[in-house]
Amino acid sequence: MHAPNFNTLCERLQQKAYKITPQRQVIIKALLDNCDQHLSADEVHAIVKEQHPEIGLATVYRTLEICASLKILHQIEFGDGCTRYEFAKGDAHRHHHLICITCGKVTEFDDDLLETLEAWVSKKAGFKIADHQLKLYGYCEDCQHPG
């Protein structure tokens, strides 16, 4: 849901001496157009190929890799065998993933309630927390009330 600005993203690439090639622009736009999804490399490639059949899957992988290394994208795995991507949010904007066991739908949920827990873990385990990832598996509203 959180959609960064296209030009800002390009600048962040340039700052690290990455060239703004047409392929990278197309891929980033595809991600922006679908920022409510959690696309896989293959899915990004499929979208991009519609208008630009010449773009190769390897280029998609390489672009996603760069964006992940620049913390523009986050990589997540929902257990379906491939890595998926979402735009990284700032530290202040934490969110979790609600994964429906029945239909597989993934919803995001914003909240900051983990703060207390993190403070506790930090103190108890001597572990300095930098990031977290919470997945909640269960049943979405549609699947709870079928028909």
Q: Judged by CB under 7 A, how many residues of this single chain contact DNA? A: 25
| CA–CA gap between residue 111 and residue 85 (Å, rounded) | 20
Secondary structure element (H or E) that encloses residue 33, with its range? helix 22-33
Residue recorded with tokens 């506790």:
120
Choose which of 11, 36, 42, 142 interacts with DNA (CB under 7 A).
Answer: 42
* Cα of 48 vs its chain's centroid, Å: 17
Least spacing, CB of residue 27 vs DNA, in Å: 8
Pick one of a copy of itself, DNA, none as the site partner of residue 59 (Cβ within 5 to 8 A by kind): DNA
Give 34's contacts (C-beta < 8 A, 6+ positions apart).
47
125 contacts which partner out of a copy of itself, DNA, none, CB within 5 to 8 A by kind?
a copy of itself
Query: Any contact of residue 57 with DNA (CB under 7 A)?
Result: yes
Give the nearer residue to DNA in terms of CB position, either 34 or 83.
Answer: 83
